[in-house]
């Protein structure tokens, strides 16, 4: 009886130890071998919104964190001087066109009287007509530029997205190219997963992926769109034209380099908000037929 009880306890202990070892091995495979990382970030392209012309801001038509559509007017630069510049350019065009028309008529009249008008005068008329035509073309270009500058006083959204850091107020003077706010491109939302280099053999472009935001239980579905072409070598310094500066130290414990893997988002559950900068966990699923990474122990 005691022997049977002792045998049962031994078997139970052995099974428990095997279960613990199996669990440890499963956790090791999942976090060290399988393409899974908890180091992921939601990212998007951020576009600085800056006017193409200088002037005072007369109207701000948006607010902070507002979704906008492509082509929507965000703010307006004072149009007064640009309207005046366009009027002046149009007047110069009319003046040059009138001078050209008069020169063409005079040239035709002189050509019709070759016996009366000297050949030198006719050649001068031809040269004058050509010069005035060039001046008309230049005046038209200046008019078109003035019209473009007037149009650019309306600063529009270049893409669909959400505005951020909008503190602009009417009366502020902006120089051309000075960023006044930023626009987060909603069409560029993606997740960058930083995978250890030991996991890259199991990751292929097109593989489906599961994304889990920190604090959100719902799964976001996506797929691998690309793998980074390179990462910085911190062991080597020096610029072009100089000898390489290689770090002479070497540590026996070598941490695996993390390589960015870009995951495009395919489906977002209802109610889940994606904000660039959020932390995410990314798990890549190997598609059927692909070569599985060999799960070998480190020793």
pLDDT given at position 10:
77
14 within some domain:
no
In this structure, is residue 137 part of a structural domain? yes
CATH value at residue 94: 1.10.287
Does 219 reside within a domain? Answer: no
Sheet with 46-49, strands from edge to edge, namely: 46-49, 181-185, 161-164, 67-68
Q: Is 101 within the bounds of a domain? A: yes
Report the C-alpha gap between 194 and 27 in whole angstroms: 19
- The pLDDT, as a whole number, for residue 266 is 92
**Which one, of 96, 88, 95, lies nearest residue 150 by Cα?**
88
Residue 269 lies in a domain: no
What's the average pLDDT block by block, 10 residues per block, for the chain (299 residues)?
Answer: 71 80 70 78 94 95 94 95 94 87 71 60 68 86 94 95 93 93 93 90 90 90 91 75 75 81 92 91 76 44
pLDDT at 80: 93
* CA distances, 177 to each of 34, 65, 236 (Å): 47, 22, 37
Q: According to the model, what pLDDT value does residue 217 have?
A: 85
- Which two tokens mark 229? 């072409």
Residues 6+ apart with CB under 8 A from 207: 35, 223, 224, 284, 285, 286, 287, 290
> Three-state DSSP class for 212?
strand
Domain that holds residue 113: 79-152
In a domain, 66, yes or no: no
Determine the pLDDT at residue 69: 95
Q: What is the dihedral of CA 30, 35, 39, 45, to 10 degrees?
A: -160
Whole-model pTM: value is: 0.73
pLDDT of residue 294: 42
* Structural domains in the chain (count): 1
In a domain, 188, yes or no: no
Residue 11 Cα distances to 5, 7, 14, angstroms = 10, 6, 5
Q: Is residue 53 part of a domain?
A: no
- Token readout for 1 is 């009886």
């Amino acid at each position: 009886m005691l022997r049977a009880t002792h045998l049962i306890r031994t078997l139970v202990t052995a099974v428990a130890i095997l279960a613990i070892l199996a669990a440890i091995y499963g956790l090791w495979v999942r976090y060290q071998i399988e393409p899974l990382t908890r180091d992921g970030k939601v990212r998007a392209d951020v576009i600085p919104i800056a006017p193409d012309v200088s002037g005072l801001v007369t109207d701000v038509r948006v607010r902070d964190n507002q979704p906008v559509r492509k082509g929507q007017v965000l703010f307006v630069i004072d149009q007064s001087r640009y309207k005046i510049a366009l009027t002046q350019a149009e007047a110069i065009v009319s003046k040059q066109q009138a001078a050209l028309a008069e020169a063409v008529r005079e040239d035709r009249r002189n050509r019709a009287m070759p016996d009366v008008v000297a050949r030198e005068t006719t050649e001068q008329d031809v040269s004058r007509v050509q010069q005035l035509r060039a001046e008309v073309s230049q005046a038209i270009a200046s008019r078109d530029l003035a019209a473009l500058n007037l149009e650019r006083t309306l600063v529009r959204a270049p893409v669909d997205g959400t505005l951020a850091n909008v503190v602009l107020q009417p009366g502020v003077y902006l120089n051309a190219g000075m960023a006044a706010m930023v626009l987060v491109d909603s069409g560029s939302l993606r997740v960058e997963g930083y995978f250890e280099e030991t996991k890259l053999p199991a990751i292929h472009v097109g593989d489906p992926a599961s994304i889990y935001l920190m604090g959100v239980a719902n799964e976001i579905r996506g797929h691998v769109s690309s793998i980074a072409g390179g990462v910085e070598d911190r062991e080597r310094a020096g610029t072009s034209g100089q000898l390489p500066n290689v770090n002479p130290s070497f540590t026996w414990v070598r941490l695996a380099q993390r390589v960015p893997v870009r995951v495009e988002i395919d489906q977002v559950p209802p109610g889940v908000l994606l904000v660039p900068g959020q932390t995410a966990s990314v798990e890549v699923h190997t598609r059927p037929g692909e070569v599985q990474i060999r799960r070998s122990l480190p020793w």
